[in-house]
Structure 1
Amino acid sequence: MAGKSSKGSKRLLDLRGQTWWFRMAVPAACLDHFDGKTMYMQSLNTGDIKQAMAQRDILEREVRTLFARVKAGEIITSAEEIAEQRGQIYREAMAAVTQSGDSEALQDLVWAAEAEEDALKEEARERFARAFVGDHPIDHHFDAYLGAIKLAPKTTAERRGVLNHFARWCLAEKFRLPDITRKTAGRYVTEVIEPMDRSTAKKHMTALRGYWEYLLMRGHVTGELKDNPWLGQEVVSKRRRVERGEREEERPYTEDELKRLLYARYPDGIDPDWELLLRDALTISCLSGMRQAEVLTLWIEDVHDGVFDIQQGKTEAAARKVPIHPALAEIIQRRTEGKEARDWLFHELAGLRDPGDTFGKRFNRFRVLLQVDDKRPGKRRSLVNFHSARRWFITEARHAGQQIETIRDVVGHKADKKKDITFGVYTTGASAAQLKACIEAVMLPSGG
């Protein structure tokens, strides 16, 4: 009988008369919420098995999410939540049918949606109608989008911050998803993005284009990919006089600055329990060229056979094996002893909600108190920061005569295949001996 098997095309479907129904068992933990009903059932308002399967796949995800939220103890008005989910299901089903060109099936869906909306009451009807036309707040799909693109944690947090910036502007202007036209997007670019620093503006444009591409692909907003309102919204380059020092870029530490960070008396006004953490992380970065996030997220199992085995990172080239510098032996021994494979090398950060952000703020306070700072007019950030350790390693390796291509492999920079065919296409990278020699060519300044 249809709906009984957990496998196959008719999974979770039950044919009653000429209409397919969605049928899923309610978990024991959710029974009270559903008034003791053991089965969650919804009419799919179609006799077409293909349409029923398409709606089933969408509804299954939504209902499992609903069950999870109930189990987590969230306060959910069941009828309103389900009405909103049903409106979204109809919207996505109609997008699929429209693309197939089946006008008869499209009309059936429209009639079914209207009938279901008419049967609802007050708030549930309003939420169904909003979901059906995609009328959601700007941030409604943020979590789904950020989960789908699978960026590194630091990049994900940065992308969320950019999108939240736009969402707050829209909230103040009372704009929702259907209100974002090319003209609206152009206004945001003119008023908010154009005054930003060029690199910051580029990050905002990338995030907004990517979010709208996701919304279009998933059918959350109407149109094709070419209708993305952020396409072509290039930030105007404003030519102006360049003042003295304006082109200064973030830089490596000087020898004196690095000595202060590594050896100076730990400053007052900052938690003393953080001294080892801050200086250990800085030392590893200086002698490996690793990024802050790569250092802080190391597990014990990532430190083996004389290498830091980085499994993922900011770019494809970030996944690599970095030889462990001999000068790091004491730190590695101290931080790995007695720990399990999935324990953090920097265990002090394991319980924090956002370890990277917390560490970054604490490190910045640490270096400022040690007078390692380089703020310039018109620059948001100091020209020296934790990333200066990575810049210092690259500079020292280059000054020690190491090949640029080997340094690039050590620090996880990808070769430009268009500009460097030889090393971008026809080589598999530096040998283990070359990588080890590059690492060991860099030495920390003495503490004297």
Structure 2
Amino acid sequence: MAGKSKRGGERHLWLQGNVFWYRQQLPVAVHAKIGGPKFVRVNLRTADVIEAKRRRDELEAQTAMQFRQIKTGRRVSLELPGWKPAKVIDRATLGAAERGALMREALAEYLDADDADNADLIRDLAADETERLEKKPTEASAFTNAFTGREPVAHHLETYLNTAGLAPKTTGERRGLVLRFARWADAKGLTLDRIDRRQAGKYVGEQIDPMHPATQTKHLTALRSYWKYLARRGHVQLPPGITLDDGWPWNGQQTIQTGKRVERGSKKAEERAFTDAEVSRLLYEPWPMKNPEWESQIRDALTISLLSGMRLAEVLTLWVEEVHDGVFDIQQGKTESAARKVPIHPDLSEIVARRTAGKIGKQWLFHEVATERDPGDTFGKRFKRFREAVGVDDRREGTRRSLVNFHSARRWFTTKARHAGHPRETIAEIVGHAPDKKDVTFGVYARGASEGQRRACVGDVRLPHQNVR
């Protein structure tokens, strides 16, 4: 309902909906001294006209007194309960984009509060700023983009990553993938508000479709997750019928590769487990690198993964207090299922004793990498150089990287446990894979493997002897 003004005994009262507001224009002399909005507008928070008049009289007395004090220089601002003047944007200390963003926030705030006067003031200030910057096209563009919500694609990326609760490795991957799209968008002059399904489809067609399906999934997952955050925080507007959790405009963008005739030798090679011969070389070949200090950390970490199925990050970041009572007590990880207790294999007793000696609490089992900025990445590069130096590599035409890497140790453990006859549900629990919810019996009703079953599964995995061919 549009507001309507009342006169006479209902002076300064403005009925909007079912609520009365106090509305009074500032005297010219007062406005010249304090600037800001030309009207005082206060929500009286009552629908009763008698109560509204009483509250109006109190405010009228306060404004009259403060007007006199401002005119005579005894007061420099107007302060009334329930009244919030427009924000002042300081040109001297803020850049054009920052001024535009602040004005946009102020406008949204006043529109939410149904404060038409201050909202109009902000629009007028924005128009004046645009006119002032007319001869400075770069600043004018930055101001207009910020005021209208045309932000760079990566503008909210770090805030998203800081609140997403992702593992460090995943955080780095998500940052890189979103920034890759952001660079593509910047090159085409696309701001956040202009990314729709059509533009997303263009990017997928140009950049993502040629990738391996697994890489496609990872890339689109990063973009969908970022856009879900943007939608929830109101940074992007969703079309009608689209929910906050759809991940629009990236949902449904991945091309599904349908079946086709398979020619001899045409099947794409996939990353695999180490062979026993490769494990033997990795464990027993003479140390091939110049830095002898790396041998212990590399071969110890590899042996733990081979005999536990633990991920690289899980091995490297173990605290001493998480090694107790014959288990690796993993408290966090890549997924919810990553938190688990992994029995310590008998063949790991020497490594565990040596690496826990003299350490307590949250000291790292692998203290050598504790001070590294990114322990997993640093160790991964060292392991790659070592692996190649002892001749363990598997590169195929058309593949981006070797089919064997540190994760191949985890695959080796899983393979050996399966060959020893242990149920896949027990193996999945040890390596930290989520149960299959489609399998009602084991994924929903079963309560998990017993401690004895887990210990038997781990204990049945044996390292190959030296010089296995």
TM over 0.5: yes
Query: Any unmatched runs of 5+ in structure 1?
Result: 1-16, 21-42, 57-76
The alignment partner of 2:341 has SS state of: strand
In 2, distance between residues paired with 1:125 and 1:46?
Answer: 36
* CA spacing shift, 1:84–1:356, aligned 2, 3 Å: farther
Equivalent pairs, count = 378
* CA spacing shift, 1:439–1:132, aligned 2, 3 Å: same
Residue pair 1:300, 1:341 contacting (<8 A) in 2 also: yes
Does 2:196 align with 1:181? Answer: yes
Residue pair 1:117, 1:125 contacting (<8 A) in 2 also: no
Residue 419 of structure 2, aligned match among 391, 399, 422: 399
The alignment partner of 2:172 has SS state of: helix
Does 2:284 align with 1:251? Answer: no
* CA spacing shift, 1:46–1:432, aligned 2, 3 Å: farther
Q: Per-residue CA shift, 1:86-115, capped at 9, x if unaligned? A: 2453366478x3xxxx7x44x456324325
In 1, distance between residues paired with 2:107 and 2:354?
Answer: 57
Q: Per-residue CA shift, 1:350-390, capped at 9, x if unaligned? A: 12111111111111111111111111112222121111111
**1:21-36 correspondence to structure 2 within 5 Å:** none
| CA shift for structure 1 position 219 | 1.2
| CA shift for structure 1 position 251 | 1.4
Residue pair 2:427, 2:457 contacting (<8 A) in 1 also: yes
Q: What is aligned with 1:196?
A: 211
The alignment partner of 1:338 has SS state of: coil
The alignment partner of 1:321 has SS state of: strand
Q: What is aligned with 2:69?
A: none
Q: Which structure has the greater CA radius of gyration?
A: 2
Question: What amino acid does structure 2 have at the position aligned with 1:308?
Answer: F
* CA spacing shift, 1:424–1:289, aligned 2, 3 Å: same
Does 2:156 align with 1:135? Answer: no
| CA shift for structure 1 position 198 | 1.2
Residue pair 2:331, 2:340 contacting (<8 A) in 1 also: yes
The alignment partner of 2:249 has SS state of: coil
Residue pair 1:91, 1:134 contacting (<8 A) in 2 also: no
**1:352-371 correspondence to structure 2 within 5 Å:** 352-371=372-391
The alignment partner of 1:140 has SS state of: coil
Q: Per-residue CA shift, 1:271-310, capped at 9, x if unaligned? A: 3221111101100000100011111111112112211111
**1:211-222 correspondence to structure 2 within 5 Å:** 211-222=226-237
Q: What is aligned with 2:466?
A: 447
Q: What is aligned with 1:23?
A: none
Question: What amino acid does structure 2 have at the position aligned with 1:89?
Answer: E
The alignment partner of 2:242 has SS state of: helix
With normalisation by structure 1, the TM-score equals: 0.76
In 2, distance between residues paired with 1:336 and 1:140?
Answer: 44
Q: What is aligned with 1:342?
A: 362
* CA spacing shift, 1:116–1:324, aligned 2, 3 Å: farther
Residue 339 of structure 2, aligned match among 310, 315, 319: 319
The alignment partner of 2:156 has SS state of: helix
In 2, distance between residues paired with 1:200 and 1:91?
Answer: 42
* CA spacing shift, 1:328–1:87, aligned 2, 3 Å: farther
Question: What amino acid does structure 2 have at the position aligned with 1:214?
Answer: Y
Q: What is aligned with 2:432?
A: 412
Residue pair 1:189, 1:235 contacting (<8 A) in 2 also: no
Query: Any unmatched runs of 5+ in structure 2?
Result: 1-39, 44-76
Question: What amino acid does structure 1 have at the position aligned with 2:325?
Answer: D
Q: What is aligned with 1:206?
A: 221
* CA spacing shift, 1:406–1:127, aligned 2, 3 Å: same
In 1, distance between residues paired with 2:107 and 2:363?
Answer: 45
The alignment partner of 1:247 has SS state of: coil
Does 2:338 align with 1:295? Answer: no
Question: What amino acid does structure 2 have at the position aligned with 1:383?
Answer: L
Residue pair 1:320, 1:412 contacting (<8 A) in 2 also: yes
Does 2:175 align with 1:153? Answer: no
The alignment partner of 2:272 has SS state of: coil
Q: Which has the higher helix share?
A: 1
In 1, distance between residues paired with 2:123 and 2:80?
Answer: 14
**1:418-433 correspondence to structure 2 within 5 Å:** 418=438, 420-433=439-452
Question: Aligned Cα RMSD in Å?
Answer: 3.2
Residue pair 2:107, 2:122 contacting (<8 A) in 1 also: no
